[in-house]
Amino acid sequence: MMNLDELWQRTDDWLYEDRIWNHHSSNNYFIWFHVFEDEINHRGQTRMIKKMLSKV
């Protein structure tokens, strides 16, 4: 698992390295974009659940 310190050490070239992800051609930029996007969605879901539970 990569942490933020390791991510900061990566170069722009690393972001655009070709690699296979989920059996498709991809790159690290595409993969990490989706990691962050997924994290943002989960945080929104958590916030919504907390708000709903506070009304119960």
Q: Structural domain boundaries of the chain?
A: 4-54
- What is the pTM assigned to this prediction? 0.67
Tell me, what's the pLDDT at 18?
Answer: 97
Tell me, what's the pLDDT at 25?
Answer: 96
The dihedral built from the CA positions of residue 39, 45, 48 and 53, taken in this order, carries a sign that is: negative
Are the beta carbons of 34 and 20 closer than 8 angstroms? no
Tell me, what's the pLDDT at 14?
Answer: 96
What is the rounded distance in angstroms from the CA atom of residue 16 to the CA atom of residue 4? 18
pLDDT in tens, the chain (56 residues): 788 899 899 999 999 999 998 999 999 999 999 999 999 999 999 999 999 999 87
Tell me, what's the pLDDT at 51?
Answer: 93
